[in-house]
Amino acid sequence: MSLEFMTVAMFATLIIAITLGHPLAYTLAAVATLFGLIDNGFNIPGLFGMFINNVWGLMNNYTLVAVPLFILMAQLLDRSKVSDALFESLYVVLGKIKGGLGLAVVVVCTVFAATTGIVGASVVAMGLLATPALINKGYQKELTAGIICASGTLGILIPPSIMMVVFGGLTGMKETSVGNLFAGSILPGIILAGLYFTYILIRCNINPTLGPPISKEESATYTAAQKWSMTLKSLLPPLMLILAVMGTILAGIATPTEAAGLGAFGALILAACNKKLNLTVLKESSFATLKTTSMVMMLFIGGKFFSTVFLSMGGGDVVTDLLIGSGMNRWLILGVMMLIVFLMGMFIDWAAILLVTVPIFLPIALELEFNPLWFSILMCVNLQTSFLTPPFGYALFYFKGVAPEGYTMMYIYKGIIPFVLLQIVSIAILCLFPSIVTWLPDLFFGS
């Protein structure tokens, strides 16, 4: 069989198997085993030897120790209800502005994103907390769903992000180390949050019925001093945690793995300060961390099997020759790669997309002389859309699971469309101004 046929057949088999609903990690491993055996003439010991060597190298990656620590930090913060107090204070401070409650959700999710890095926790927490408040104040159902789903996905981009840890562990390059990825994603994350904030503000001022302000009587319940006091009390603890985690990384005091340990310890202290720390919370957080970490690691192993077989049989060369040999401008090739990632995001989990595409696309980006850090952040921003794009956007299902009765999937699908477009706008901004990504890494870590 020709190399081109094997490449297409391997991808087609993977997509069909995923569509049939088989577990992703085992699907990646099974497809890799099948095509690895076909490629090496059914030499079973040889194939398994190759798998063992690659998985051993993967599991020796010290950076991946940060994964369970960041997940534990997120689980503890989710159960310590840090976001609840912050939303309640911003509800009063911003509520009198048209669209103010929606703006409060964006601010809370941005702060929450910088402390947890897990989308499910953000969307579920804000869905339970903010949806009843927004609906009771007369917010449009579609806009409410869009605000919560889109703002909740900021956790996958704004550091500390599990996606960045996985990406850095995959590449093994100095330019795309976890520290550089964290620094490079800060401004893109803030810009995206700013786009959401601006869109809500403009749209609700044009049509106030979409997001009416709270009544003057409700706003006047607290004095200006009380509002400032409430906000500072609820904002300072998570900001201190962000400073402890990101500050130590950017200052070069701690590695991302060490900072993750510090973050988990800080989350433990915050839970104790909020009087939420008990044996039940510790057990639930630890068990949830174990399950999530096991899932991530199984995906890593399955993805490593797939990429190893795909590259060893020459599939990477086929894709490279197809794109670079097409004679297209390098920006068109970049557009094709971004489109492939976007379309895959409609059907496949972000981790699987990274595991499959990074070993293929990053060498192409290097050959086209794109900055590897800039290209990596561009991919991560693009992958954020995978949580919002139908039919399998995870954030949409997280929200549907906690939404009040009467919320149909059509309301949610309509609500997220403007925010997906804003994510695409943010990708265009990063293409026009690459220094948005590279400035902070250069400032903290040098060129």
Over residues 241-275, the pLDDT tens digits come to 888 888 888 888 888 888 888 888 988 888 888 88
Mean pLDDT for the stretch of residues 393-398: 81
- The per-residue pLDDT for 218 is 66
* pLDDT value at residue 121: 67
Q: Which stretches within 114-177 are classed as H helix?
A: 119-136, 141-152, 162-171
CA 263 and chain centroid, separation: 18
If pLDDT is split at 50, 70 and 90, which confidence band does 320 have? Answer: confident
- Give me the domain span that covers residue 372: 61-277+313-445
* Alpha carbons 297 and 315: distance in angstroms, whole number: 24
Overall number of domains in the chain:
1
Q: What phi, psi does 419 have (nearest 5°)?
A: -75, -30
Model confidence at 434, in pLDDT bands (50, 70, 90)? very high
**What pLDDT shows up at residue 120?**
67
Residue 113: its pLDDT value, please? 80
With respect to residue 30, please indicate whether it lies within any of the assigned structural domains.
Answer: no
pLDDT at 17: 83
SS3 327: coil
Mean pLDDT of 209-235: 76
Tell whether 271 is covered by a domain. yes
Whole-number percent of the chain with pLDDT over 90: 21
How far apart are alpha carbons 145 and 107 in whole angstroms?
Answer: 16
* 9 in any annotated domain: no
Does the pLDDT at position 220 exceed 70?
Answer: no
Banded model confidence at residue 366, pLDDT cuts 50, 70, 90:
very high
Average of per-residue pLDDT values in the chain: 84
**pLDDT > 70 fraction of the chain, expressed in percent and rounded:** 97
For the cut 90, the answer to whether the pLDDT of residue 420 exceeds it is yes
In a domain, 307, yes or no: no
The residue among 133 and 189 whose pLDDT is bigger is: 189
Q: Stretch 376-388: mean pLDDT, rounded?
A: 90
DSSP strands (E only) in 227-326: none
**pLDDT attached to residue 416:** 92
What mean pLDDT comes out for the span 90-111?
Answer: 85
In this predicted structure, the answer to whether residue 447 has a pLDDT above a threshold of 60 is: no
Average pLDDT over residues 300-321: 81
**Confidence class for position 193, pLDDT limits 50, 70, 90:** very high
Q: Hey, which of 13-17, 168-172, 434-438 has the most confident mean pLDDT? A: 434-438
Does any domain span residue 306? no
- pLDDT, mean of residues 293-299: 82
Residue 366: CB atoms within 10 A of its CB come to 14
Contact predicate 396/390, CB 8 Å: yes
Q: Name the pLDDT band for 432 (thresholds 50, 70, 90).
A: very high
| CA distances from residue 93 to 8, 97, 238 in whole angstroms, order as listed | 55, 9, 18
Please determine, for residue 67, whether its predicted confidence score (pLDDT) is greater than 90.
no
Residue 298 is assigned to a structural domain of this protein: no
Stronger pLDDT, 87 or 144, i.e. the higher one: 144
36 is a domain residue = no
Look up residue 161 and give its DSSP letter.
Answer: -
Rounded Cα distance, 314 and 311, in Å:
5
Task: Report the C-alpha gap between 279 and 355 in whole angstroms.
Answer: 36
135-174: pLDDT as tens digits: 888 889 999 999 999 998 888 888 888 888 888 887 878 8
